Amino acid sequence: MEIKQVKRDKLRVGVIGVGHLGEYHVQKYKNLPMVDLVGIVDTNPDRANEIARNYNTTVYERHHEILKKVDAVSLAVPTVSHFQVAKDVLSHGIHLLIEKPITYKLEPADALINLANEKNLILQVGFVERFNPAIVKMMSLLKDPVFIEAHRMNVFTQRGTDTDVVFDLMIHDLDIILNMVPSKVKELHAVGMSVVTGMTDIANARMIFENGVVANLSTSRVSHKNIRKIRVYQPDLYMEADCLKRSINITRLDNGKGELANLCELKPETNQYPNCDHLADEISSFVHSVINRSRPVVPGEDGRKALKISLEIIDQIKRGCRDFRCID
């Protein structure tokens, strides 16, 4: 699509919702020389004033007020409010970075994607792990994967417990895997259970793609430690990305003979990226997409794909499904 061009010395940006995650968006925008952080919006005036003082910016009481003054915004309000606020943003001709999940249902997600396309606007979904250097490296080496395994575990905290763990955590890995495999999901089997919140706190999903790739995902927010790992098995190598440590272990298959007769040699290597800031990279990528009129790394359509499978998983868990379900 042709993207609406922004012609100014600096991109005028706002942040709507400055809770835990929204504050980080404010930080990253303040560090970008091509950005003018116009202001922030939050329904909690005390929080808004605190962030405004800390980052030397302006508070706007309602998001409609800031939309008259910006070219682009980050939206980090609770997901239940995503659709209405995002619709207002896009209707005003403002480019949008919306945190995941894009919405809770497919119909409003489709409406936002269509609106952005109609108005030639950037709509990027905040899947920050796409910018994790370990995942970026893994994607560069990806070729004919056979099996993918993801584990995403959190120590229990109150934050994020207003939604299902599939939306809270698993959706990150779903987005990564759906981006890795250029094929439709043919079969899906999911199980899960509630532990402390009254919603699903532990979940496992197995996806079989039409091209034969199998992916297994496990997630929990009642774990004894935090884990963020993705493993990919393919004929020429095995990769394990640690998203927390921002590192990747790669074991390559050397077709030359090893020390033992008729055996190939395995050559391991480790790549570490300790000083990278993938949220800063995500914000910078959004800004450059807006300025350069280029398709974002994670467009709204990708957010919809992850949402669709998330909803299928949640539905299967609620129904207590015991059989594979074919996906249309």
Mean pLDDT (whole number) for 34-47: 97
Domain ranges of the chain: 11-127+279-297, 133-275+309-326
Cβ neighbourhood burial of 196 (10 Å; 0-12, 13-18, 19+): exposed
The verdict on pTM exceeding 0.85 is yes
Check: CB of residue 181 under 8 Å from CB of residue 306: no
At the topology level of CATH, where does 133-275+309-326 sit? Dihydrodipicolinate Reductase; domain 2 (3.30.360)
Check: CB of residue 13 under 8 Å from CB of residue 31: no
Judged against a pLDDT cut of 80, whether residue 238 lies above it is answered with yes
Mean pLDDT (whole number) for 235-239: 93
| Architecture of the 11-127+279-297 domain | 3-Layer(aba) Sandwich (3.40)
pLDDT of residue 157: 85
Mean pLDDT (whole number) for 10-28: 97
pLDDT of residue 2: 42
Mean pLDDT of the chain: 92
For residues 172 and 126, what is the distance between their CA atoms, to the nearest angstrom? Answer: 10
Cβ neighbourhood burial of 142 (10 Å; 0-12, 13-18, 19+): middle
Give the tens place of pLDDT for each residue, 287-326: 999 999 999 999 999 999 999 999 999 999 998 855 445 5
For residue 112, give the DSSP letter.
Answer: H
Judged against a pLDDT cut of 70, whether residue 88 lies above it is answered with yes
For residues 102 and 280, what is the distance between their CA atoms, to the nearest angstrom? Answer: 20
Judged against a pLDDT cut of 60, whether residue 6 lies above it is answered with no
